[in-house]
Amino acid sequence: MKNILVVNGPNLNMLGIREPAIYGRQTYADLLAYIREAASALSLNVTCFQSNSEGELVTAIQQAYGKMDGIVINPAAYTHTSVAILDALKAVALPAVEVHLSAVETREAFRQVSYAGMACEKTITGKGFAGYQEALAYLAQRV
């Protein structure tokens, strides 16, 4: 069975509360249940990690080296600011897929640059929770 790390960045723990018009009313616990069910259906072992701290996200990515077969990452706001997350993804050199719940490409201009995406094989936006299932399915075929 392949091992996939799912990394979620800042404010994703506030799903259901934070801007429900953009992110919906489902909670972070709902997202975790969705991810685990999708991974199980694909015969993947999944480890989920969420932090509001850039350094903790970098550490989680680094610790995936030699243990995980791929990474699904929603860096959230760090998408547009974190060279450190980009460098961590490049350092571990695991197949990675970037996911965003909203269609970031249709939002504010500052959301148009994705540093993390530069180290990812694929980016999925605007599909809500289903984007995670698509990312897991891609990695199930890829790794």
- If you search the block for the tokens 């015969």, which residue do you land on? 43
Q: Please identify which of the residues 23, 28, 115, 132 carries the catalytic annotation.
A: 23
Helix, strand and coil percent figures for the chain, each rounded to 5: 50, 20, 30
80 catalytic, yes or no? no
Q: Please identify which of the residues 34, 65, 78, 100 carries the catalytic annotation.
A: 100
The angle at the Cα of 28, spanning 75 to 37, to the nearest 5 degrees, equals: 95
Question: Phi then psi for 126, rounded to 5 degrees?
Answer: 75, 15
Active site residues: 23, 100
